[in-house]
Chain A
Amino acid sequence: MFKAFLIKYAEIGLKGNNRYLFENALRDRMKDALKPLGDYNVSKEQGRIFVECPDEYDYDETIDALKKVFGISSICPVVVIESSEWDALTKGVGDYVEAMYPDRHFTFKVEAKRADKKYPYTSPEICSHMGAYLLRRFGELKVDVHQPEVRITVEVRSKAYVYSIVIPGLGGMPVGTNGKAMLLLSGGIDSPVAGYMISKRGVSMAATYFHAPPYTSERAKQKVVDLAKKIAKYTGQIKLFVVNFTDIQLYIYDKCPHDELTIIMRRYMMKIAEKLAEQEECLGLVTGESIGQVASQTLHSLAATNEVCTLPVYRPLIALDKNEIVDIAQRIDTFETSIQPFEDCCTIFVAKHPVTKPNRKTIRHSEKNLEEKIEDMIETALSTVETIVVE
Chain B
Amino acid sequence: MEVYLDNSATTKVTEKVRDKMIQVLYEDYGNPSSKHIMGMKAEQYMKEAADIIASTLKVDSKELIFTSGGTEANNLALIGTALANKRRGRHIITTRIEHPSVHQPLIYLEQLGYEISFIPVDKSGKIIKEKLYELVKEETLLVSIMYVNNEIGAVQDIPEIIRELRQRKKDILIHIDGVQAFGKYRIHPKREGIDLFTFSGHKIHGPKGSGVLYVSDKVKLNPMVFGGGHQRGRRSGTENVPAIAGIGQAVSELYEDFDHKINKMYELKQTFLREVSRLEDVTVNGLVAECTDDFDMEQLKKTAPHIMSVSFQGVKSEVFLHALEDRGIYVSSGSACSSHHPQPSVTLTAIGLPKDLMDATLRFSMSDKTTMEEIQYTLANIKELLPILRRYTRK
Residues from chain B with Cβ under 8 Å of A351 in the complex: 394-395
Residues A352 and B394 in contact, CB atoms below 8 Å apart? yes
The docked-state distance in angstroms from the alpha carbon of A4 to that of B86 is: 65
Stretch at the interface among A98-106, A199-207, A213-221: A213-221
CB of A350 closer than 8 Å to a CB of B: yes
Q: Which of B319, B339, B340, B341 contacts A215 (CB 8 A)?
A: B319
Q: Which of B323, B338, B340, B393 contacts A348 (CB 8 A)?
A: B393
Q: Which of A214, A258, A349 has the most CB of B within 10 A?
A: A214
A366 to chain B, nearest CB (A): 15
A352-383: contact bitstring with B at CB < 8 Å (1 yes, 0 no)?
10000000000000000000000000000000
Stretch at the interface among A19-27, A39-47, A308-316, A338-346: A338-346
Residues B395 and A258 in contact, CB atoms below 8 Å apart? yes
B320 to chain A, nearest CB (A): 7
Interface of A is mostly: loop
The docked-state distance in angstroms from the alpha carbon of A67 to that of B318 is: 41
* Interface size range of chain B in the complex: 20 to 34
Residues from chain B with Cβ under 8 Å of A253 in the complex: 392
B341's nearest neighbour on chain A, judged by CB, is A341
**Residues of chain B in range 350-395 having any CB-CB distance to chain A below 8 Å:** 389, 392-395
Residues from chain B with Cβ under 8 Å of A218 in the complex: 322, 325
CB of B90 closer than 8 Å to a CB of A: no
With A350-B394, A351-B395, A352-B394 already in contact, the answer to whether A341 and B338 are too (CB < 8 A) is yes
CB of B337 closer than 8 Å to a CB of A: yes
The docked-state distance in angstroms from the alpha carbon of A228 to that of B318 is: 25
Residues from chain A with Cβ under 8 Å of B394 in the complex: 347-352
CB of A250 closer than 8 Å to a CB of B: yes
Q: Which of A214, A348, A349 contacts B326 (CB 8 A)?
A: A214
Residues B392 and A348 in contact, CB atoms below 8 Å apart? yes
CB of B316 closer than 8 Å to a CB of A: yes
With A213-B322, A214-B320, A214-B325 already in contact, the answer to whether A352 and B395 are too (CB < 8 A) is yes
B314-352: contact bitstring with A at CB < 8 Å (1 yes, 0 no)?
001011111111100000000011111100000000000
**Residues of chain B in range 298-327 having any CB-CB distance to chain A below 8 Å:** 316, 318-326
Residues from chain B with Cβ under 8 Å of A345 in the complex: 316, 318-319, 322, 337-338
Residues from chain A with Cβ under 8 Å of B316 in the complex: 345, 348
A208 to chain B, nearest CB (A): 21
B314 to chain A, nearest CB (A): 10
Residues A214 and B339 in contact, CB atoms below 8 Å apart? no
The docked-state distance in angstroms from the alpha carbon of A339 to that of B339 is: 12
The docked-state distance in angstroms from the alpha carbon of A148 to that of B249 is: 74
Give 3 nearest A-B pairs by CB, closest first: A341-B340, A214-B322, A214-B323
B: residues with CB less than 8 A from A are 316, 318-326, 336-341, 389, 392-395
A-B contact pairs, 10 of them (CB 8 A): A213-B323, A214-B326, A214-B389, A339-B340, A341-B336, A344-B337, A345-B316, A347-B394, A351-B394, A352-B395
* Other contacts beyond A345-B322, A347-B339, A347-B394: 8, CB < 8 A: A214-B325, A215-B322, A217-B322, A341-B339, A341-B340, A344-B338, A345-B337, A345-B338
